[in-house]
Amino acid sequence: MRKAVRRIIAILQEWIFLLLALLVAACTAQPVPPTATPTHRPTATPVATRTPTPVPTATPTAPPTLTPSPAPLPTCTPVPEGVVYVIDDAVYGDLEPGIELGVWEATEVLQQALERRAPAWAQYRVKAVENPVHPLHGSLADEIWGVAHAPLTLVNPRVLLVTAGVALDWQVPQDRPLPDAISEIGGQLWEHYLAFSFNPKVRAQHPEVANAASYALYAFFGYDREKLQVWAAEYDALFGHLQPRITPRGCRISSQTP
C-alpha cells in the first residue's frame, strides 16, 4: 500500500518538475523579431504623351488652264468624183422601214408616195379582197411590201418602189400585170447584189463602185450614171426625209451626183 502511494507521489513530482522546466524555458527565451514581409508597391507605368500631329498646310495650286477643245472634224466627207455610191447597204437591205409605226402604217407611207408620184399606181388593185383587214389590203403598196420580202428579192420596199417607178416610167405596163413587172425587177436587183458581193471578178471589173447596194442599182440601169442620177433624185423626193439613202456618217449624194 505504501509502495503504491510512493509511486504515485514520485510520478506527480516528475510531472511538476517537467512543468517547471517548461515554464523556466519559456520565460528565459528571447522573442524572435518578426520577419518583415516586403510589401509590393505598384510601379506607375509611364503614360505615353501624345504628340499632336501637325495639320498639313494646303498649298494653293494654280487653277488648271482650260485648253480649248479642237472643233470636231466634219463627219460629212464628199464622195470622190467618179465613185459610184448612191445608197448604204444597210438602207438597201432594210426590209421593214417604218415598221416601228406598225405594218399597215409603214405600208401607208408607200401609198402616200404613190399618190404623190403616180396616182395610177396608187389606185391599182392587185386583187379583190372580200374581208380586207385594212383599206390597203390588196393594194399595190401592199403588194410591193410583200414582193420586197420575197426570198429572191430581199430589198427595202421603198427602194423597190422607186426602182420600179424609174424603170417603168411610173406607167402601168400593157403587156403584163404591174405586180409581175415589179417582182421581176426585184429579182434582177437581187442577182446584181449577189454578183458584186460574192464574185471577185465583178468587183475587179468595177472598182469605181463603193458597195454591193450601189452596184445592184448601177448594173440594173445598165451602168448608166444619168439613169442612176434620176433614181437618186426620185428616192430623195419621196423618202429622203424619212430614210436618207446614205446614213449621217457620210454625205448624202445630191441629185447631181454621181
| Total tally of structural domains belonging to the chain | 1
Give domain status of residue 228, yes or no. Answer: yes
Q: pLDDT tier at 216 (50, 70, 90 boundaries)?
A: very high
Q: Per the domain annotation, does 43 fall within a domain?
A: no
pLDDT band with cut points at 50, 70 and 90 for residue 79? confident
pLDDT per position as a tens digit, 84-110: 999 999 999 999 999 998 999 999 999
Cis bond before residue 258 (omega within 30° of 0):
yes
pLDDT at 219 over 60: yes
* 245 in any annotated domain: no
Kindly provide the b/e burial profile for residues 48-80, where b requires at least 16 CB atoms within 10 angstroms of the residue's own CB: eeeeeeeeeeeeeeeeeeeeeeeeeeeeeeebe
Alpha helices, DSSP H, located in the chain? 2-28, 89-92, 103-117, 119-122, 140-148, 157-167, 178-198, 200-205, 212-220, 225-239
**Residue 110 counted as domain residue:** yes
Separation CA 171–CA 141 (nearest Å): 15
233-251: average pLDDT: 86
The angle formed by the CA atoms of residues 107, 116 and 220, to the nearest 5 degrees, is 75
Q: Centre a 10 Å sphere on the Cβ of residue 195 and count the other Cβ atoms it contains.
A: 17
Specify if 119 maps to a domain: yes
**pLDDT band per the 50, 70, 90 thresholds, residue 77:** low
Percent of the chain with pLDDT strictly greater than 90: 57
% of the chain residues with pLDDT over 70: 66
Residue 51 within any structural domain of the chain: no
Question: Is the pLDDT reported for residue 62 higher than 80?
Answer: no
* pLDDT band of 248, cuts 50, 70, 90: low
Residue 169 lies in a domain: yes
| pLDDT tens per residue across span 169-204 | 999 999 999 999 999 999 999 999 999 999 999 999
pLDDT at 66 over 90: no
Confidence bin at 240 (pLDDT 50/70/90): very high
How does pLDDT run across 23-44, given as a tens digit for each residue?
545 544 444 444 444 444 444 4
Band of residue 82 on the pLDDT scale cut at 50, 70, 90:
confident
Task: Please indicate, yes or no, if residue 130 is contained in any of the structural domains.
Answer: yes
Reply yes or no on whether the pLDDT at 49 is more than 80. Answer: no
* Long-range Cβ contact pairs of 68-74 (< 8 A, separation 24 or more): none
The per-residue pLDDT for 76 is 57
Q: Which three cell numbers stand for residue 93?
A: 437591205
pLDDT value at 224 more than 70? yes
In this prediction, residue 133 carries a pLDDT of 80
Contacts of 123 (CB under 8 A, 6+ apart): none
pLDDT at 13: 58
Write out the residue range of the structural domain in which residue 95 sits: 89-239
User: How many helices (H) and strands (E) are present in the chain, helices listed first?
Assistant: 10, 0
